[in-house]
Structures are given as C-alpha cells and as structure tokens.
Amino acid sequence: MSIIKTKNLTFEYIRRDEEGNVEGITTAVDDVTLNVRAGEFIAILGHNGSGKSTLAKHINAILHPTEGTVWVDGRDTSDESQVWEIRQTAGMVFQNPDNQIIGQVVEEDVGFGPENMGVPTQEIWERVAESLRAVGMYQYRKSSPNKLSGGQKQRVSIAGVLAMHPKCIILDEPTAMLDPNGRREVIRAVRGLNDVEKITVVLITHYMEETIHADRIFVMESGRVAMEGTPKEIFSQVERLKELRLDVPQVTLLAHELKGRGLRLPDGILTTQELVEAMKRNGYL
C-alpha cells in the first residue's frame, strides 16, 4: 500500500532583488515521481541545495507543488480542507531540537500535539507515556528539556510527533547538530519505530552511515531523483556518488580501496560484519 506518492512534482520559486523585482525562477524540485509504501524506511541523500528538504516539506503540506500532485495516504496535499489530516498522518522532525521544544517539562512538550488535536485528557497521558517509551526517554518525563543532551532533546521531539499517532515520520537532518553518541541514540530510536511500530520513515541526512539499514535510498541532484535503490546498489557506485558531492560509508570505502589493490571483494559492502565475512570467504582472514 502506498503512503506517499508524488506525480511529476515540481516546485518553483521566484527570486527577487532588494526592490522586489523578479530576478529569475529557481526550480527546487523538478518533475519528481515517486512512491513510498507503508512501513518502508526511506533515506534521502543529496548535497546542500539539491532539493531534499524542499521535497520533504511537500510531504506534510508545508509547501504545495507548483505543478504535479502529492498524495499522503491517499489525500491530495493541495486540498486545503485536508491539511490537518495530512499533518497528523505525516509528522516532521527538524534539524535543531531547540527550535522544536516548547514545554517546560518533557511530558508537557510531548502532550502538546495531541492536546491540540482535541484528544481526551486520559488518552493524552497514555500517548505521552507510550511515545516516550518508544524513544527510550520515559525516565526523563518529569525533567526540564533544558537539562537534556542534544540526542535526548531530539528524541523528545520525535516523541512529540509520535504522540500524534502519525503513519509516517519525516526527519530532516535530525542528527546534524549532535555528537556521535547523540546520533547513535536518535538513529536507534528511529529504526525502532520503523521495525516495531511499523511507522514509515523518511530520513534526510548527510551521514552515509545512517542510511545503510534503509529499505531504499533516493539520491537527489538539481531537484531530481538522480539515483534510487537499496543501500547496497547505491553504495556500490562509489565514483558516481563522489560526482554528486556525496560519500560512501567508511567500510564501503575501505573495501573499495582494497579491491583497487587486487583483493577479491564484492561491491557495496556496508558493515564491518559484512567485510569480515567477505574477507573470510575469500581466504584473507
């Protein structure tokens, strides 16, 4: 079943100079047609300015297409009357946790969404508790968000979206401002939501390592989907990714280097485990 579908999605905006005269038109998303099935884990890669975030903002109706159509769970995002339904279906988490947390106490912050949806009080508390448990932050429910680390704050932001019971979560570089530990915590929480709760995940990131467990990766370039495939398929193309200003995970790069030195290794190795096994199979270890 399809949860996010775009057909010939194009988004243009008009650039203006200081006096408001039109300078030109930028096409940020250019004729994108894609289909995300319910329960999938999708990663979107692409260099700065490739159109990733603009695409993502169409999924919960922050932006509306200039041309083409976006459907979220069967609802057309350009239909004004459906906007609230769409935003409840597809929740968004942004880069900076400090811009998204408003409550004085963690559980209050997480309850903000369902409260605004008019959920009965008893159920709000249930949702808050279950959302905080899902991201491993239940023991901090009475804390002040100010006292949390970046990774913890970001997990509270995710819980805030979860409490609205979305079918889909879009995360726009959720780990860009975090240290390695915080990054690990957030990615683990997101993978848990996808595995256990079967929530569809769309993860935008610049860290290649975070995408190796995705079901599919889309690589954006100049507003178009330049590559699409499983992590293995995508990361087998080391040179192509470099052309697109991207990278591959360190293990993949090491395997690629070793191949260049004449070792017999398969393409698209993504984890240390896989590399060790491939080395054993071919008698190097």
Partner 1 sequence: MSIILDHINYIYGEDTTTPVHALKDICLQIQDGEFVGIIGHTGSGKSTLMQHLNGLVRATGGHIYYNGEDIYDRDYDMKKLRSKVGLVFQYPEHQLFEIDVFSDVCFGPKNLGLDRKETELRAYDALRKVGLPNELFYQSPFELSGGQKRRVAIAGVLAMKPEVLILDEPTAGLDPKGRDEILQQVKKLQTETGMTILLVSHSMEDVAEYVDRIIVMNDGSVLLEGAPRDVFSHYEELEAVGLAAPQVTYILNEFRKNGLDVDTSAITIGEAAQEIARALHR
Q: Does 263 bind partner 1 (CB under 8 A)?
A: yes
Using CB under 8 A as the binding rule, whether residue 136 contacts partner 1 is answered as no
Per rule CB under 8 A, is residue 150 in the interface with partner 1?
A: yes
Among 65-73, 75-83, 113-121, 245-253, the segment contacting partner 1 (CB under 8 A):
245-253
The structure tokens listed for 52 are 């990733």
Letters for 62-101 (x = contact with partner 1 by CB under 8 A, - = none) are: ---------------------------------x------
Residue 284 binds partner 1, judged by CB under 8 A: yes
Q: Which residues within the stretch 201-220 sit at the binding site for partner 1 (CB under 8 A)?
A: 206, 208-209
180 binds partner 1 (CB under 8 A): yes
Cα dihedral sign, 210-216-219-223 = negative
Task: Let me know: does 221 contact 28? Beta carbons within 8 Å.
Answer: no
**Binding of partner 1 by 251 (CB under 8 A):** yes
* Residues making up the chain, counted from first to last: 285
The residues that bridge with 69 in the sheet, in sequence order, are 7
43 binds partner 1 (CB under 8 A): no
Q: Are 75 and 238 in contact (CB under 8 A)?
A: no
Check if the beta carbon of residue 59 is closer than 8 Å to that of residue 136.
no
Shorter beta-carbon distance to partner 1: residue 111 or 150: 150
Q: Does 20 bind partner 1 (CB under 8 A)?
A: no
Which range, of 6-14, 65-73, 104-112, 255-263, touches partner 1 by CB under 8 A? Answer: 255-263
C-alpha count within 13 angstroms, C-beta hemisphere, residue 200: 24
Sign (positive/negative) of CA torsion 197, 199, 205, 207?
positive
Judged by CB under 8 A, the number of residues near partner 1 is: 43
Residue with token string 């054993």: 280
Decide whether 16 or 198 has the Cβ nearer to partner 1: 16
Give the dihedral sign, CA 237/238/242/243: negative
SS3 content of the chain, % helix, strand, coil (to 5): 40, 25, 35
Exactly one of 20, 22, 48, 118 binds partner 1 (CB under 8 A); that residue is: 48
Rule CB under 8 A: is residue 229 a binding residue for partner 1? no
Does the footprint of partner 1 cover residue 18 (CB under 8 A)?
yes
Phi-psi region of 240 (alpha: psi -120 to 50; beta: other; left: phi over 0): alpha
| Residues that bind partner 1 in the complex, under the rule CB under 8 A | 15, 18, 46-49, 95, 149-151, 173, 176-182, 206, 208-209, 242, 245-247, 249-251, 253-254, 257-258, 260-263, 272, 275-276, 279-280, 284-285
